[in-house]
Structure 1
Amino acid sequence: MAGVRTAWRIVDDGDFFCAGCGGDRCYRLLTGRRRLTVLGLPVLPRGAAEPVVECVSCRGHFPPDALGQPTTTRLAGLLRDAVYAIALAMLGAGGGEEAAARRAAVAVIRDAGYPECTEDGLLTLRAAMGRRRLPPLDHEVRAAVGALTPHLAAPGREALLLLGARVALADGPCTDAERQTLSTIAEALSLPVAATERLLGSR
């Protein structure tokens, strides 16, 4: 006979990662007003309802902070950017003169989703960054890796550090400069010192 009904209003829309569907979906951000109803008719206002994110596919409702979770498409882009920055930083630390290191850098970048990457392209970019005097670690690694780190579990963060080590080791044992670069990458990945030493101790 009597109850409370919420009248929803759409205030925004877009794409998000739906935990109910397990993938990228369209969403609608809803705000609402609750009303006491009698026989299905609204009688008295009962105040504002908390905003919700509604999945257009499954119609599930989620708190607004669900929009803070990157879509799988966005996450893939963050990963590509992080791997690119790490490989470029490792080349810079090693001088980029050894062909083996360049080939390793190209391989990890291609595996991350940049199939068009070439040695010449990497060398051109590194040279351009040098002319502009941009420190790649601060402006590239810390920004790119920092954007991805909150969304990775520990094994994923460790795997990224090992990709950097793979480039460093391609032309022989790590130099002091390469170890320092790997340490900076580990900091950007929020890896504990013990984990970093375990991963890099024998390299």
Structure 2
Amino acid sequence: MVRSRVAGVRTAWRVIDDGDFFCAACGGDRCYRRLAGRRRLTLLGVPVLPRGTADPVVECASCRGHFPLETLSRPTTTRLAALLRDAVHAIALALLAADGGSSAAARRGAVASVRAAGFADCTEERLLTLQAAMACRQPARLDEEMWEALASLTPHLSVPGRENLLLHGARVALSDGPYNAAEHELLSTIGEALELPVTDTERLLAAQS
């Protein structure tokens, strides 16, 4: 017992980065400091010998908890909301392109979906202008934008969340009537990008129709 009070190992931390992250202990977005450490043997509280480096950690500025660096791969709630908005927006644009964008009901359905996702100022004119600009620049760009948006979001969504995103697209497609062949093919592609089993995708699409 006496020896444990006399000698020990202390870690000296230094800050190498900072930013915002989702703190699991606090349950919300917080500031963090990324720390690198070096261990030293101490005698009577005085560092005397190096004992190598400590694994880097993320320290929450609020609760002071230490977490592994992998914690930073989880998006903040703010970032997650932005990823979700971008995904819904990309799906709506792709579905309008599949439908030809000629149906007023489809345009209204797309606008309603995008507004519900957080783009409150979305209008039919804005959607169609963006769709036309992207299609003229590169015909396949709409599908690429959708894939990129879903690839960024999918790892951070639970199965119900991914299913709900597919249903956003289904409601847009059905706003002017039953799925046409192009819409159904695109929705199947969305299910694949969301890493949903084909049988689940078909079940969800059928239930909506």
Matched, 1:135 2:140: yes
> Structure 2: which amino acid aligns with 1:190?
E
Alignment match of 1:155 (pick from 155, 160, 171): 160
Residue 196 of structure 1: aligned partner: 201
Deviations 1:91-132 (A, max 9, x none): 111111111111110011011110110001111111112211
The percentage of counterpart residues that share the same residue type is: 68
User: RMSD in angstroms over aligned alpha carbons?
Assistant: 1.0
1:137 positional shift: 4.6
Q: Which moved more, 1:82-91 or 1:130-139?
A: 130-139
Q: Find the residue that maps to 1:113 and give its secondary structure.
A: coil
Deviations 1:75-94 (A, max 9, x none): 01100000000011111111
Residue 126 of structure 2: aligned partner: 121
Alignment match of 1:16 (pick from 7, 18, 21): 21
| Distance across 1 between alignment mates of 2:162 and 2:57 | 32
> Structure 2: which amino acid aligns with 1:86?
I
Alignment match of 1:95 (pick from 92, 100, 108): 100
| Distance across 2 between alignment mates of 1:143 and 1:162 | 19
Alignment match of 1:53 (pick from 58, 74, 79): 58
Residue 3 of structure 2: aligned partner: none
| Distance across 2 between alignment mates of 1:66 and 1:50 | 14
- Would you say the 8 A contact 1:137–1:181 is kept in 2? no
> Structure 2: which amino acid aligns with 1:79?
L
Matched pairs, number: 203
Residue 105 of structure 1: aligned partner: 110
> Structure 2: which amino acid aligns with 1:154?
V
Give runs of ≥4 in structure 1 deviating > 2 Å. none
> Structure 2: which amino acid aligns with 1:152?
L
Could you tell me the TM-score, scaled by structure 1's length? Answer: 0.97
